[in-house]
Chain A
Amino acid sequence: MTKKISVTVNGTKHELEVEPRLLLVHMIREVLNMTGTHIGCDTSSCGACTILLDGKSIKSCTVLAVQADGHSLTTIEGLAPEGGPLHPLQDGFKENHGLHCGFCTPGMIMRCVELLEHNNNPTEEEIRWGISGNLCRCTGYNNIVKAVQWAGAKMRGEETPSTEPEFV
C-alpha cells in the first residue's frame, strides 16, 4: 500500500515510494537521511521540525509525505551551500548566541526565513509573535530576537548591531 511521490528537497528532485502514513519529518530524516530537521514534541507544538513547503514554514511532524507530492521543500541543509558562506540567519544566531543546546535552532531559523522574507525589518514584537510556534528552553528568547534583528540588518545591507554581551 505504498504511493509513488516526487518531491524536490533543497533543489534536488527525489522519486520515492512511501507509505501514506509516513510523516514528512520521518521522510526527511529517515528516508533522505537529512537529520538537520529535528523532532521535538511530535505534536505540532514546539516547532523543532519546521521546514519550508513551497516557501511557507510548516511543521513537518503534522504533514504526511504524500501531501508533499509535487511540491518543493527547503530544510536547514538547503540554506547555505556546502563550504560556502552561511545564511544571514545562521550567522546571526552564531554571532548573537541565539542558541545554547541548538535543538530548536534549525526550526527557529527556518521559521525566521519566512518571517524575514515578508518583512526584513521586524519589530521585537513582530519577531516574538513570529516565533510563537517555536519553543526554546535554553535562551529565554532574548538572544534569538537579537539574532533575527541582526540577520535582518545584514539582509538589508545595513551595518549589523554590536554583538558585545550586555551585563545587567
Chain B
Amino acid sequence: MIAQSFHYESPATLAEAIALLNEHGDEAKVLSGGHSLIPMMKLRFATPSYLIDINRIPGLSDIVEDVDGTIRIGSLVRESQLEHSELLGRHFPIFKDVTKLIADPQVRNMGTLGGNLAHGDAANDHPAVMIALRASVFITGADGERSVPIDEFFYGFYMTAIQQGEILTEIRLPVPPKGTGNAYHKLERKVGDYATSGVAVQITVDESGVVTAAGIGLTNVNPVPLRAVRSEEALIGKPLSDETIELAARYASEDCSPSSDLRGSEEYKRHVTGVLVKRMIRKAAERAQA
C-alpha cells in the first residue's frame, strides 16, 4: 500500500517546524515515530499534503529529573527508551508494565510517547497512564510554550488540545511522594492488539495505611480516555480495604462507556474493567509498600 503523494520537510529546529505548520495549515501533519500516521496514510485514511518530520529537531528525546521534583519526558522519547529508563523505573514501574504491552519490540523502537498522546486515540495505552500519573502536556506554538493538564488534553475521537501550528514537545510528571505505587495492565487478545480494557492506577498510602492520593485512568472503554473519578474518591481518605477496592471497581465499571465489538460485549468490557481496577489497585499498593 502506497500513501498519496506529499511534500516532505525535515526541519532542524522547532521554530522552523512551527513556521512550516503555520504556513501549510491543515494540509500538514507532524511525523514523529510514524507508527500510527504512516499506516493511516498507507490506507489513505490520512492524506496530508505536507509531512513535517520532527525527528531531526534536537532536545526532544531526553528524560530528565528537575530539582523541583518533576520528571520531564521529551515528546520524541521512544517506547523502548521508556521501557529501559532507570530514572523512570525508580519512580514509575508502571512504564515497564505499559510499554511491554504496547505493540511489539520493533514498533517500540520507533513509536514515541508524544505521538501516542497526540494521536488522541482512546485505544492507546499512554493516555490512561498519564491520567493516573497526573501529567502535564507541554505544547509549543508560534507564541511560545503552554501547559495543558492531562484532564484537559483529550477532546474527542482523534481530537486533542493541540491546535493548528502547534507541536507537543514535552510531558511532565510530578515525582510521587514516598508510599506511592503505580501499575498498568490491559487485556489484549494477542500481542499488538488494542486493549479490550486497560487500567492504570497510582496510589499513595501514608504510614497509617490511609490512601492520601489516587489516580485511575481507563483505556479503550470510553470515547475519550477516562479518569475514573468516583473510583479515585472511593479510595481517598480511607484505609485500603476489600470494601473500598470493591467499590472503586464497581464505580469504574459503571462510569465507563464501552461499545460492543469484536473484543467483547459492553457488559463483558465493564466486567473486565472492574476486575482490572481491583488487580491494579492491589498491585500499586504492593509497590507502594516496597
Report A's interface with B, CB cutoff 8 A: 1, 3, 19-21, 23, 42-45, 47, 50, 53, 56-59, 62-64, 66-67, 69, 111, 114-115, 129-130, 132-134
Complex CA gap A134/B105 in Å reads 10
Partner-contacting stretch, out of B6-14, B176-184, B249-257? B6-14
For residue B154, give the distance in angstroms from its CB to the closest CB of chain A: 24
Interface string of B15-57 (1 = CB under 8 A from A): 0000000000000000100110011011000000001010100
Q: Which of A50, A66, A130 contacts B53 (CB 8 A)?
A: A66
Complex CA gap A63/B106 in Å reads 11
Report B's interface with A, CB cutoff 8 A: 1-8, 10, 31, 34-35, 38-39, 41-42, 51, 53, 55, 80, 100, 103-107, 109-110, 191-192
Complex CA gap A90/B104 in Å reads 22
19 contacts between A and B (CB under 8 A): A1-B7, A3-B8, A20-B6, A20-B8, A20-B51, A21-B41, A42-B1, A42-B42, A44-B39, A47-B106, A53-B109, A58-B110, A62-B38, A63-B38, A64-B38, A66-B8, A69-B10, A114-B105, A133-B192
Contacts of B41 in A (CB 8 A): 21
Complex CA gap A59/B38 in Å reads 12
Complex CA gap A84/B110 in Å reads 32
Q: Determine whether the beta carbon of A57 is less than 8 Å from that of B105.
A: yes
Complex CA gap A129/B51 in Å reads 33
In the complex where A63-B38, A67-B34, A133-B192 touch, is A44 in contact with B8 (Cβ < 8 A)? Answer: no
Q: Determine whether the beta carbon of B110 is less than 8 Å from that of A62.
A: yes
Q: Determine whether the beta carbon of B110 is less than 8 Å from that of A47.
A: no
Complex CA gap A63/B192 in Å reads 18
Q: Determine whether the beta carbon of A132 is less than 8 Å from that of B2.
A: no
Complex CA gap A47/B105 in Å reads 10
Complex CA gap A64/B29 in Å reads 15
Contacts of A56 in B (CB 8 A): 80, 109
Name the residue of chain A whose CB is nearest to the CB of B8: A20
Q: Determine whether the beta carbon of A62 is less than 8 Å from that of B35.
A: yes
Q: Determine whether the beta carbon of A44 is less than 8 Å from that of B35.
A: yes
Q: Determine whether the beta carbon of B39 is less than 8 Å from that of A21.
A: no
Name the residue of chain B whose CB is nearest to the CB of A128: B191
Contacts of A50 in B (CB 8 A): 106
Complex CA gap A111/B4 in Å reads 30
Complex CA gap A58/B31 in Å reads 16
Complex CA gap A107/B218 in Å reads 34
Q: A56-B109, A62-B39, A133-B104 are in contact. List 20 more A-B contacts (CB 8 A).
A: A20-B5, A20-B7, A20-B8, A21-B2, A44-B39, A44-B103, A44-B106, A50-B106, A56-B80, A58-B109, A62-B107, A63-B34, A66-B53, A111-B106, A115-B105, A132-B104, A132-B105, A132-B191, A133-B106, A133-B107
In the complex where A57-B109, A62-B35, A64-B34 touch, is A133 in contact with B103 (Cβ < 8 A)? Answer: yes
Complex CA gap A132/B51 in Å reads 30
Q: Determine whether the beta carbon of A21 is less than 8 Å from that of B5.
A: yes
